[in-house]
Structure 1
Amino acid sequence: MERNLKVVGICGSLREDSSNKRLLDLAKTMLPDYVEYESLEYQDVPVFSQDIEKPVPEPVQRIKDQVESADVLLIATPQYNGSFPGNLKNAIDWMTRPGGHNSIYGKIAGIVGCTPGQSGTMQAQLHLREVLSHLGIQVPAKPRVMISGVLDLIDEDGNLQLPEVEVNNYQKMLNEVFKLAQIKSL
């Protein structure tokens, strides 16, 4: 029997009607019974400054606690100007602070992303992988979930309708991060 895993979904877009939030919502429908999911809300996290890190601001402590309780981080990132959003980088920076209190080190993460354009968030995901790797976070090399032309994939009810090949790819990526998390917990 597999032990229960906890996934914390982190959306790089703070926009209420974000396509990347929809991509995380789709993941929730694909999770096996032994996986618990919750979203990280970090809109109220201040811009990082060492001048305000001690004591840790309450919104920061809340996200640090949530990330520490996770077995897997599932990060959905849009692509802004060829990279991932600054608000996501800010949240990641806070998760590593103050010095000696890194809440994110050693985690397992899956990265997904969608965009109205044709890049499929390739550059954003490459930059995010580099940052996460630097922080000791394990991200499976494959499969990669990079959805292009996302606006054409949203139905009249506002639901994301991925082609079957993309759903299968997404499921394979989720299975890979769950496998890594279970191995790590042994």
Structure 2
Amino acid sequence: MDHFQIAVAVGSLRRDSFNQQLAHALEKLAPSNFSFKHLPIGELPLYNQDDDGNQSEPVLRMKNDIAASQGLLFITPEYNRSIPGVLKNAIDHASRPYGHSAWKGKPAGVIGISVGAIGTALAQQHLRNILAYLDVPTLGQPEAFVQAKEGLFDKDGQIGEASRKFLQGWVDSYVDWVKQHQIDPIPSAS
């Protein structure tokens, strides 16, 4: 495969989100044959199993974007020692109806940033548990629990010098993971 499209789920809707900033900075560390499509998870209605047979247009669009991707990138903050509700809502929508999960088999990377010293360690662990159930092969090592502190991003919004080598190594491992786990595309949800 020459080109890899990655579906990106950022678990923060905040306008000045550190996680959104991290997503864009990591994309710049990826090779040129990787492109990134951000999933608009803030547009989704609250998940209701009654809607499984008639999913909304935003849900179907998201599922089609996931189906068209060769990999997944989850970038999550930590809310109350877990993942944000908006991210869980998106995961639930794209995993339904039962037996028709858009996530299945897509290789994933999990990372996040927080002002706390342990970054998003607990949120990432909870997310990994969910992804394991959904049959999403998830990069285990290296882990990256990023703390938002002075110098992490440079004035242009890219990864600063002190963290660049570490995060470049994480991106390189993620790229290799995606390439190793290629599967046949899943038909679109519409």
Please give the alpha-carbon distance, in whole angstroms, between the structure 2 residues aligned to 1:57 and 1:98. Answer: 13
- 2:114 is equivalent to residue 111 of structure 1: no
SS of the residue 1:61 aligns to: helix
**TM-score after normalising by structure 2:** 0.87
Task: Name which of structure 1's ranges 169-178 and 113-122 shifts more when overlaid on structure 2.
Answer: 169-178
**How far did residue 35 of structure 1 move?**
1.5
In percent, how many aligned pairs have the same letter?
32
State the match for 2:33 in structure 1.
34
SS of 2:100's partner is coil
Alpha-carbon distance between aligned partners in 1 of 2:120 and 2:112, rounded to the nearest angstrom = 6
Q: Is the 8 A contact 2:108 2:138 kept in 1?
A: yes
Q: Which amino acid aligns with 1:79?
A: E
Superposition deviation, residue 30 in structure 1: 1.4
Query: How much has 1:17 moved relative to structure 2?
Result: 1.0
Count of matched residue positions in the alignment of Structure 1 and Structure 2: 182
| Structure 2 runs not aligned, ≥5 long | 185-190
Give the superposition deviation at 1:151: 3.9
CA deviation vs aligned residue, 1:23-51 (integer Å, no higher than 9, x gap): 11012211212222211112110111112
Distance in 1 between residues matched to 2:15 and 2:76, nearest whole Å: 14
Q: Deviations over 1:7-27 (max 9, x none)?
A: 111101111211111111012
| Matching of residue 10 in structure 1 with residue 9 in structure 2 | yes
SS in 1 for 2:110: strand
Cα 1:88–1:108 shift into 2, 3 Å: same
Matched, 1:179 2:171: no
Say if 1:53 and 1:97, in contact at 8 Å, map to a contact too.
yes
Residue of structure 2 in register with 1:168 after alignment: 168
1:73–1:108 Cα contact (<8 Å) kept? yes
Structure 1: gaps spanning 5 or more residues: none
Q: Which amino acid aligns with 2:174?
A: L
Task: Report the CA distance between 1:158 and its aligned residue.
Answer: 5.3
C-alpha deviation, 1:156, in angstroms: 5.2
Residue 174 of structure 1 aligns with an amino acid whose one-letter code is: Y
Does the 8 Å CA contact 2:26/2:167 hold for their aligned counterparts? no
